[in-house]
Amino acid sequence: MMRAVIVDDEEPARAKLRRWLANERDIEIAGEFADGLGAAHAIITSSPDVVFLDVQMPGVNGLELQSRLVAGGRQVPIIFITAFNDENARAQALNAGALGYLVKPFEEPDLLNAINLALQRQENAPGSPRANH
């Protein structure tokens, strides 16, 4: 089971993700946040398997949050879900280890592809029961 956290300041975007993720039997939503500061503490303490993270949010934006997590030694798989279609931001996110960068409006198959990458990463992680198969 993959534990996911959703971080987006827009309720309609969070609702759409909740609806799509509810269809996936291998995913449990472990938390939902409208800002980066609230999410940071939860991500550090709960160690989710994947974070769906918006780029532009009040306070700490998604790229800053990713940078803080990396600087703190946290290698949390992040899939950016954003309306911020900027090649520099995309490059920064992916260079820092993000699994994906989905630009809104994206379709459910795009999300599922990104989730499959996260699941593969989880299955191949050291200590995973499937890592040696």
pLDDT in tens, 36-63: 888 888 888 888 989 999 998 888 888 8
Domain presence at residue 85:
yes
In a domain, 129, yes or no: no
CA 49 to chain centre: 9
SS3 at position 103: strand
Q: Is the pLDDT of residue 108 over 80?
A: yes
- The strand pairing partners of 53, in sequence order, are 7, 80
Cβ atoms 55, 61 nearer than 8 A? yes
Q: What CATH number does the domain containing 22 carry?
A: 3.40.50.2300
Structure tokens at 102: 């989905």
pLDDT tens for 9-33 read 999 999 999 999 998 888 899 999 9
Number of structural domains found in the chain? 1
Give the other-Cβ count within 10 Å of 65's Cβ. Answer: 25
pLDDT in the model for residue 46: 84
Residues 6+ apart with CB under 8 A from 131: 123, 124, 125
pLDDT bracket for residue 89 (50, 70, 90): confident
- Residue 98 maps to a domain: yes
Q: Which domain holds residue 55?
A: 2-122
pTM, entire model: 0.87
